[in-house]
A and B are shown apart, each in its own frame.
Chain A
Amino acid sequence: EVQLVQSGGGLVQPGGSLRLSCAVSGFTFSSFWMHWVRQAPGKGLVWVSRISGDGSSTSYADSVKGRFTISRDNAKNTLYLQMNSLKGEDTAVYYCGRGVPDYWGQGTLVTVSS
């Protein structure tokens, strides 16, 4: 069974940092591109970032470029999103997703507030 289990969300002050994790099981992790997608409260889905199966290729939405870093550890079957210089507008539920994405994590809330 394909599973994506997220952790690492929470409350952080503006300008602060947070790292999200997405631990996967049930499939060959290194064979899939992985994504991060976010959804602000009451708003729509917004694509954030993606990374290739071997980690050699990444891309970002303009709104997070230079502040967020996507990475993966294929030995640990885990995807990461390092978020720095956080702003209020980064407040959202963050989802990790596999491939299309077809399978999604359960989502984790990041709240940026003083």
Chain B
Amino acid sequence: QSALTQPASVSGSPGQSITISCTGTSSDVGGYNYVSWYQQHPGKVPKLMIYDVINRPSGVSNRFSGSKSGNTASLTISGLQAEDEADYYCSSYTSSLTRVFGGGTKVTVL
């Protein structure tokens, strides 16, 4: 049950687009379309931003989008805003009938 691999940090200027990668294996990310992404501000509860690779829950801005290619999933934030500064985590269902999270990515808005 190794954690999915995410970059430790990603930064961008307001209005720019950034992409966070999430790399797993064929036993998790690559094998199922059950990748989700969470946003967590300091001291707050995680918030679901994307589920099943590409779907946005009601109320989540369409500036957030998800995709997957092979064993790597990605979260793109377009039109970066100050409020997007937070930690982001990916998660995937696994062949062991468990779930696994990535190590998290700190997004900084310059």
Contacts and interface: CB of A to CB of B under 8 A. Distances in A.
A37 B101 CA distance: 10
Give the contact-size bracket for chain B: 20 to 34
Nearest to A35: B99
A44 B99 contact: no
Contact of A95 (B36, B46, B104): B46
Given A47-B91, A101-B48, A104-B46, A62 B101 contact: no
Contacts of B100: 47
Contact of B101 (A45, A59, A104, A107): A45
A106 B46 contact: no
B98 A45 contact: no
30 contacts: A35-B99, A37-B46, A44-B87, A44-B101, A44-B102, A44-B103, A45-B38, A45-B91, A45-B104, A46-B101, A47-B91, A47-B98, A47-B99, A47-B101, A57-B97, A59-B96, A59-B98, A61-B98, A62-B1, A95-B45, A100-B36, A100-B48, A100-B51, A101-B48, A102-B48, A102-B57, A104-B45, A105-B45, A106-B45, A107-B45
